[in-house]
Amino acid sequence: MKKVLAAILVLMLALSFYVASAEASMLDTVYDNLDADAGIHLNYTMHAASMGAEINYDVHAKGTSGYTVKTSYAFGLSSVSASCFIGDTSYMLNPDQMEAHAVLTISPSLLKYHSYIRSDELGKLMDNWAHSSTYKVETREVDGVSYTVEVYPADGGTEVAFYFDESGRLACVRNDSIPSLGELFYTVSVIDSEVNESLFDISAYTVVSK
């Protein structure tokens, strides 16, 4: 009987590790304040320790349009690439040659469901885990700074953790839900609505069809 009670106690502790909450999370608040009609600007850096690489993303989105510049750093080298979604088409941009390579065109029936931010690395993480009712709240330190952390369970016993500073700003994200990539750590510099809409004008580029 004691063994049965002990097993039940262990199970109850495991189930209470993550708390199901009906209240809005801090992640919900940040995500729900993103407004594509007003404009969304993200700037963040992804650190991939297993690959010895860092990638900075500068993302501008308004309506269904979007533009991203990625600056990659690895092995002492750096490279810059750009992509955008204008009208109904996704492009890879080559600023050196002033060429826009059409990659994907979305049909009118699907365009109304298109969200540029949900295709972004950070935007996708927020979209996947916002409004999840199961998470735990911890306090963690990064470089001597204390953060409130919402930890969401992912597949295979992995986790995605969102770090918020004392003002409620999303400051970091730790993602170990992709085993092949190891731990990915994102430092978030900017989440605001200050979009540079001039980036959506690619009329100076020569469009190269698929």
State how far the Cα of 138 lies from the Cα of 125, in Å rounded to an integer.
Answer: 19
pLDDT of residue 110: 84
State how far the Cα of 204 lies from the Cα of 200, in Å rounded to an integer.
Answer: 11
pLDDT of residue 12: 41
Tens digit of each residue's pLDDT (9 = 90 or more) over 32-73: 999 999 999 999 999 998 778 899 999 999 999 999 999 999
Residue ranges of the domains in the chain?
19-208
pLDDT of residue 31: 96
125 CB-contact burial (10 Å; exposed 0-12 / middle 13-18 / buried 19+): buried
Average pLDDT, the chain: 88
pLDDT band of residue 156 (cuts 50, 70, 90) is confident
pLDDT of residue 16: 41
Matching residue, tokens 């992912």: 154
Torsion of CA 191, 183, 120, 96, to 10 degrees: 100
Tens digit of each residue's pLDDT (9 = 90 or more) over 9-34: 433 434 345 555 557 899 999 999 99
pLDDT of residue 96: 87
CATH class of the domain comprising 19-208: mainly beta
pLDDT of residue 19: 57
Round the CA-based radius of gyration of the chain to a whole number and report it.
20
Q: How many CB atoms lie within 10 A of CB 6?
A: 10
- Cα torsion 197, 199, 204, 208: sign: negative
Nearest to 186 by CA among 48, 33, 7, 27: 48
Nearest to 30 by CA among 95, 134, 122: 122
Q: Give yes or no for residue 104 having a pLDDT over 70.
A: yes
Q: What is the pTM of this model?
A: 0.85
